[in-house]
Every structure is written in structure tokens, then in C-alpha cells.
Structure 1
């Protein structure tokens, strides 16, 4: 009951996306089941030591530091809410510290290699699926939007006259993202091609499956992973890699960090500053290759 009420609060008052609410649900139900099966406790009876035992259990079964950190973040939000509504009087999360995360630079792909991939007639053809796949990659790299934002795009969100797209970001925060002329033309051509398909249901969602249903996360992951294999040896080949590539490319070409923050829809500059490390590493590489004293 407490979990359901909290999830309703996230959905209707905090206006979190269905994907985010589902992540909270998964984390909280796993925690609830662990407490019930291990200690025969309800969530209201949990204290600090029980949360510590849960952390140990997660790490012993091989969960990464980032996964443990995310689950603890879900629990912090849950118990903060429980204290606020008077269900719990002592917050068991107050003394809990998340495990330290190893510093990892964002993975990105070289934009010249990406251009070569997208220009390849051997890889892409004129079929609807191929045109859609190419446009998904073009849009992710050309706008830096998140996967959820891509899936939420509708045809009406595109302003062809202003060469921009209205994006509904995290917590339903809107922003306008500019797009290049080439991408505008490709979007027009795709929408026209989409309208000619013999789909049972006509959807105004921009990206759809081969049968006309709304595109979904696994489909986009599969598409991006398949094509990035041609140009990247990195293990990570996700839609977020193209977001990282967008930001890194802007920074390397002298874009202001605050402007990149706005384009990405980051709430704080701290989230954007991680890309400066990639830029510094690039400068070091150039220095070592070109300077006689390197």
C-alpha cells in the first residue's frame, strides 16, 4: 500500500515519466521483498542496519556501484516521503552513504566516422525501415536528446519554418532544440514516406515500428547498436552514446558550456561539465602527437 501511494505521488504530483515510476517500483519492490523474506519486516519497520544488509546483499550478487547507488536513491526518496506523510518517524536512510562510483568518461563516437556511416549507400537503402533507422541515428546525434525524448516526439513538435523541435524533457520540462537544414529535409521526407505506408493505425508519434506501432526503447537500442558496430569498437553502443557524441562535438568546436547545458536539458551545470574531461583528453592527445617537446 505504501509503495503504491508513493508511486501515485511520483506520477501525479511530481509528474515523473512512466519509465521513471517503473524504475522506482522495481527498486522498492525488490527492497520490500528482501526485508520480508530476510527479516520478516514491513517497510515501516526498517532501520539503518537493515538497509546496510540490503546493500551488502546487492554487492554480493554482483550489482555495480552505480546500480546500488540508484536503488539507494529510490529508497531515500521513498522514506523522505514516508516521514513527510507521517507513516515513518525515523528515516532509516539518514546515515546511509552510497558506494563511491569509479570516474568514467562519457563514451562517444567520432563525428567524421558517423558522417561516413550515414552517407553509406551500402548500409542504408530507400525502404521505410532503413530510412527510419538512419533518421533515428541522425536525430539522436543532431539534437542530443534522450531516448525517452526521442520516443515522445510527435510530428507536430517539429517547426519546419524555424528549423527547431519542441522537446518534452524530464519532469515534463519543455525546451526548444535547433536542428540543421539537412536534418529538417530528412524529417520532412520521412514523414511523407511514413504517410504512404499501409499501416492499420496512423500515429502522430514520429518514430514507429515496421507495422506502424509506436517505437519502443528496445527497438531503438537495437537499431543504434547495430549501426554503431560499423564504426565503434567500444562495448557501449547505446542511444546515450550519441547524446555524449553531440555534446562532445559541440564542446570541441568551441560551444559555450552553459549553451550546451540548455541544449541537453540538464538541470545543473555539474552534469554538463563531465564533457570537459573528454575535451581535455583530446587536447592532450593532440599535444602528444604534434608538439616537439611532448
Structure 2
């Protein structure tokens, strides 16, 4: 899987065929689509890619599932694993945002019927102290 997780953005289409079901191809197609829609900077695309690769690897290794067969409980278990790994809430929210956008696009494209992130709550960010303290 690791050798299929990188490509340049801007030339794929989002419709998923049988030959594009490997996680790397799905992530590449998603990044291409986001780049075409929003014209994001390379660093933003790399963040999306990194977040989705992390999710795909966790899903494959820990849940034994493919990207397009994830369920809500898988997303919640991934977030819990991130907390156990001492990730910051802001980083977890960013990863969840990437995963949400990935599945929202696949629902719109008809690749999946239901969005597994739909009712997943974002982690609460810690309150910051006022700057004058």
C-alpha cells in the first residue's frame, strides 16, 4: 500500500472503478478532486494525503477494513486511538475533517451509500487562558 500513496494532484477523476479500489488510488483521486475544486496549496493537499494515509493504514491494520467499508464505530475507534497516542485535540480534529471530506465526496459520487463520519462528534478543544495572564 505504501508505494501507491503518493502522486501529483490535478489529473485524475473521482469516479471509482474496480481497478481504483486500492486505498492509494482512492486517496490520489480524492486529492486530485480537491485540488481541482478548491485549488489548494501543495501543503494543504499534503496534509489531506497524510491524514488519509494514516486513516487508511489504521483501518487496514486495526480494523481489517477497506476505506470504502468503514463504519461509524471504526471512525470513533480511530479517534480514540489518536487520543491514546497523546495526539492534540486540534490535530485529531484536522484528521477527522480530512476523513469527513473524503467520505462526503464519495457519498456525492455514489461510491458509498452512507457517510461513516456523519454523526461522529469532534473532540472538544481545551480552553486557552487569556493572553493578559
Q: TM-score range by the shorter chain?
A: 0.7 to 0.9
- Cα displacement string for residues 63-84 of structure 1 (whole angstroms, at most 9, x for unaligned residues): 0111111100111111110101
1:64 has 2:88 as partner:
yes
Aligned equivalents of 1:13 and 1:2: distance in 2?
A: 16
Q: Which residue of 1 aligns with 2:120?
A: 96
Unmatched 5+ stretches in structure 1: 106-276, 286-294
Q: Which residue of 1 aligns with 2:40?
A: 16
- Cα displacement string for residues 50-95 of structure 1 (whole angstroms, at most 9, x for unaligned residues): 0011011111111011111110011111111010111111000111
Higher strand share: 1
Runs of 4+ that moved beyond 6 A: none
Aligned equivalents of 1:103 and 1:3: distance in 2?
A: 34
- Using structure 1 for the length normalisation, give the TM-score: 0.36
- Cα displacement string for residues 81-134 of structure 1 (whole angstroms, at most 9, x for unaligned residues): 0101111110001111111001226xxxxxxxxxxxxxxxxxxxxxxxxxxxxx
Instruction: Count the aligned residue pairs.
Output: 109
Aligned equivalents of 1:13 and 1:99: distance in 2?
A: 28
What is the CA-CA distance between 1:40 and the residue it aligns to? Answer: 1.7
What is the CA-CA distance between 1:49 and the residue it aligns to? Answer: 0.3
Q: Which residue of 2 aligns with 1:45?
A: 69
Q: Give the secondary structure class of the aligned counterpart of 1:20.
A: helix
Unmatched 5+ stretches in structure 2: 1-24
Note the 1:31-42 alignment, pairs <5 A. 31-42=55-66
Q: Give the secondary structure class of the aligned counterpart of 2:126.
A: coil
Q: Give the secondary structure class of the aligned counterpart of 2:119.
A: coil
- Using structure 2 for the length normalisation, give the TM-score: 0.77
Aligned equivalents of 2:86 and 2:101: distance in 1?
A: 24
